[in-house]
Amino acid sequence: AHELLIDTDPGVDDALAILMAHAHAEVAGLSIAAGNVGLAHTVGNALRLIDVIGTDTPVFAGCPVPLVLPAADAGFVHGADGFGDTGYLRSARRAADEHAAAAIVRLARERPGRLTLVALAPLTNLALALRLDAELPSRIARLVIMGGAVTGRGNTHLVPAEFNIGFDPEAAQVVFSGWPEFDLVDWEACVRHAIAFERFDCMVAADTERARFYAAISRKARAFNQSHGRHGMVVADALAMAVALEPGIVRRAERHHIGIELAGALTRGATVVDWDDRCGHPVNARIVLDVDQTHFEAMVGAALGAPGAA
């Protein structure tokens, strides 16, 4: 059975990933990063989502800022509150009294070799955890990261940078250079695996509290996706979660070294892939290129309680 530890900045697509995780696996905790919006909102959103799911998954608040340089959030996609500005009631729950980075280190020590770590946010908390415990990778069964744009078609104001990496490139550098090998679900794969709007609308129309909540918080992001010429709803973190939950869903992947650009005036935050393995650096990433779309959508549908979903 899976046991997941999810580092996340909810966030509309994070919310879908968290719903999927709770539908298909055990969740040891949510460690929360700043990213899509500020930490107060990402923590509050995680707590509210735990209410909707009706579980007791602990929520650990992490770093409010990137490691080195300040960064701009993505409130224009996710809403100023990160959950579509629906004015939902705040949760009465509180985050646990332990920093997210410390919680990652502790949970990995308590459950050696059992956790799949799913990173759906800027890598600030993970970088700190790795600095707290250099042996962390040996205690984690598998790391799946949503981040990067492997051929340079990102989604931030710097063309090649994807949001999670571009928000905190130094943290990404710590993780990419310090973790032996991880699965990477990059932004471009997520765009290729967008869910057609019609299918998405059907799924969120399910008669469950989860689907109603998700329909409300995703409305703005759906409009953003449509007005930006996408062929469907890009739910990046949900695709990474599907890969974490069902490794067999991957149809094609390639293993290469990926470096992080820290200095470039036009390219800071780029994920530079050595596609031809020319530079002699060890492989650090398995890049997921193709996923079984039908299976992926069935997992999303099941998480929302859509009828007929697997």
187: contact with ligand BDR by CB under 6 A: yes
Q: Which listed residue (30, 34, 120, 191) binds Ca ion by CB under 5 A? A: 120
**Given the complex with ligand BDR, which of 133 and 188 has the nearer CB atom?**
188
Residue 164 or 173 having the CB closest to ligand BDR: 164
Contacts (CB under 5 A) with Ca ion, residues 206-265: 237
Q: Which is nearer to Ca ion, 14 or 183 (CB)?
A: 14
11 part of the interface to Ca ion, by CB under 5 A: yes
Site for ligand BDR in 92-131 (CB under 6 A): 120
If contact means CB under 5 to 8 A according to the sort of partner, which of Ca ion, ligand BDR, none does residue 187 touch? ligand BDR
**In whole angstroms, what is the distance from residue 227 CA to residue 12 CA?**
17
The residue nearest ligand BDR at its CB is 163
Q: For the CA atoms of the chain, what is the radius of gyration?
A: 18
Closer of 153 and 251 to ligand BDR (Cβ): 153
Nearer to Ca ion, 241 or 256 (CB): 241
Nearest-approach distance from CB 303 to ligand BDR, in angstroms: 16
> Least distance in Å: CB of 121 to ligand BDR?
6
From 10-18, 60-68, 131-139, 227-235, give the range in contact with Ca ion by CB under 5 A. 10-18
Residue 186 within binding range of Ca ion, rule CB under 5 A: no
Q: Report in angstroms how near the CB of residue 33 gets to ligand BDR at its nearest.
A: 10
Question: Which residues of the shown chain bind ligand BDR in the complex (CB under 6 A)?
Answer: 11, 13-14, 36, 74, 120, 146, 155, 162-164, 187, 236-237
Question: Which residues of the shown chain bind Ca ion in the complex (CB under 5 A)?
Answer: 9, 11, 14, 120-121, 237
